[in-house]
Amino acid sequence: MTEIAWVVGDTETVGAQALARVWFGLTVAGVPLTSVVDLVLIGVYAGTAAAVSRPVGAGALGAAAAVTLALRLPSLWILTAGWTQGAPSRQQLLLTVVAELAGAGVLLLTAVAGRRPAFGDDVVPVPARVRVRVPAGLLLIAVALLEAGWQLYFVRFFAQNPTTGSYVRTITGEHAIPALLATPSGWLGWAIAALGLGTGVAALRRLPPARPLGIVLAWLVALTAAPDIGAWAQQGQFLAFNLSDLAGLGSDVTLRQLTLLFEIAAAVVLVVLLAPPGSGGPARAPDPFEARDTIEMQTMPSPANYLRQTPRVPPPPPPLPPRPW
């Protein structure tokens, strides 16, 4: 609810259209407090509320907690840093962040303690299907490696070009974020890499939490790629190369743009692969009594065999003892 409240406040301050433009990397007049990260969290919380009563409810709570911790931890030092002194609504934003982090901790504990489903002991979460877990896991690991590779590239770039800034600021967010509730780009990249690698390994091992974590990560990757693409599009630099000039494909900017497009496509594929199959109710573990009855029915002769058999006549009763009279 706090996320929605801050978004509504920004809508009243700069307008809904201007806020949407800022979220997607376009410059407008005014400085909103929220960013596309808030849209990510609103979607995550809405999805978690819808999935909490399903067999994957514990995994959904854990995924929401992990994403909240990853995206909101930088706000602690951003909102307490000296360069944010005097920023509008700074104290209220800090209280919001502390409350969200505390709530994420509660969600994480609930997910760990609530691994027993709410529907009963015979209800089990449905893990990713065998045909799904391998491509989903490989896609998640690929996204993680790409993000980690680009962050290493940025470390080298800022080291070789100190006049352009410092890579440390992409982690701390100092004068490098579009809004006070935004997540610094460097921190966001490493968070996606860590979450993607962990979720990819979980998917390959067919762990049930991989499904909600993968869907949440896909939502995060797709939305956080939008601001960069929007900024390039506004400047006329999005995929601005001539196909006849193959050298243009090797530029760093073009490679970064192609990487983001790949990540968006991978996010769509992940949602399709990891979406739980439709069912009329929660998946239940096989009943051992039902399994035993099934085995007995399979070993019993068919009714036709009974009809062909000679009916068995019961033996006559034993003779009565002689009467004494």
Compute the radius of gyration of the chain from its Cα atoms. 29
Confidence grade of residue 12 (pLDDT, cut at 50, 70, 90) = confident
For 263-298, give the DSSP string: HHHHHHHHHHHHSPPP-SS--BPPPHHHHHHHHHHH
35 confidence band (pLDDT: 50, 70, 90)? confident
Q: According to DSSP H, which parts of 80-209 are helical?
A: 90-113, 130-160, 167-172, 185-204
Under 8 Å between Cβ of 3 and 45: yes
Name the least confident of 22-36, 77-91, 274-288. Answer: 274-288
Does the pLDDT of residue 294 top 80, yes or no? no
Handedness of CA 251, 257, 260, 262 (dihedral sign): negative
pLDDT value for 122: 44
Closest by CA to 207, choosing from 47, 43, 67, 63, is 63
Q: With contact defined as beta carbons under 8 Å apart, do 60 and 21 qualify? A: no
What angle do helix axes 210-234 and 185-204 make, rounded to 10 degrees?
A: 150
Mean pLDDT of 22-46: 80
Once rounded to an integer, what is the mean pLDDT over residues 206-212? Answer: 87
Question: What average pLDDT does range 195-210 have in this prediction?
Answer: 91
Q: How confident is the model at residue 117 (pLDDT cuts 50, 70, 90)?
A: very low
The reported pLDDT for the residue numbered 319 is 59
Does residue 278 surpass a pLDDT of 70? no
Is residue 192 within 8 Å of 217, Cβ to Cβ? yes
Q: What average pLDDT score do residues 8-17 get?
A: 79
CB 117 within 8 A of CB 125: yes
CB hemisphere CA count around 184 (13 angstroms): 22
Render pLDDT for 61-111 as a digit per residue (tens, 0 to 9): 999 999 999 999 999 999 999 888 888 888 999 999 999 999 999 999 988
Contacts 24+ apart (CB under 8 A), 105-114: 105/65, 105/69, 107/61, 107/62, 107/64, 107/65, 107/68, 108/61, 108/62, 108/65, 108/66, 108/69, 110/58, 110/61, 111/58, 111/59, 111/61, 111/62, 111/65, 112/62, 114/57, 114/58, 114/61
Tokens representing 172 are: 């701390």
- Mean predicted confidence (pLDDT) in 114-119: 52
Q: What is the pLDDT of residues 227-277, one digit of tens each?
A: 888 888 877 777 776 655 555 555 788 888 889 999 999 999 999 998 876
What's the rounded Cα separation, in Å, for the pair 199 and 209?
8
Torsion-angle region of 47 (φ positive above 0: left; ψ -120 to 50: alpha; else: beta)? alpha
Q: Residue written as tokens 């573990």?
A: 285
pLDDT: is 118 or 64 the higher one? 64
Token pair belonging to 49: 């509320």
Please provide the distance, in angstroms rounded to a whole number, between the alpha carbons at the two ends of the chain.
Answer: 98
Average pLDDT in the chain? 79
CA distances from 253 to 44, 146, 150, 237 (A): 30, 14, 11, 9
Give the model's pLDDT for residue 56.
Answer: 79
Is residue 293 very low, low, confident or very high in pLDDT (cuts 50, 70, 90)? very low
Length of the chain: 325
The pLDDT of residue 252 is 83
pLDDT band at 321 (very low <50, low <70, confident <90, very high): low
- The pLDDT of residue 305 is above 60: no
Under the banding of pLDDT at 50, 70 and 90, the label for residue 289 is: very low
Residues 6 or more apart from 266 whose CB is under 8 A from it?
139, 142, 143, 218, 221
Collect all residues with Cβ–Cβ distance below 8 Å to 153 and sequence separation of at least 6.
Answer: 252
Band of the pLDDT at 178, cuts 50, 70, 90? confident
Q: What is the rounded CA–CA span in Å between residue 282 and residue 38?
A: 31
Assigned token pair, 165: 């800034």
User: What's the mean pLDDT in 16-31?
Assistant: 71
Task: Decide if 212 contacts 138 (C-beta within 8 A).
Answer: no
Instruction: Report the DSSP beta bridge partners of residue 123.
Output: 284
Task: Report the share of the chain in percent with pLDDT over 90.
Answer: 38
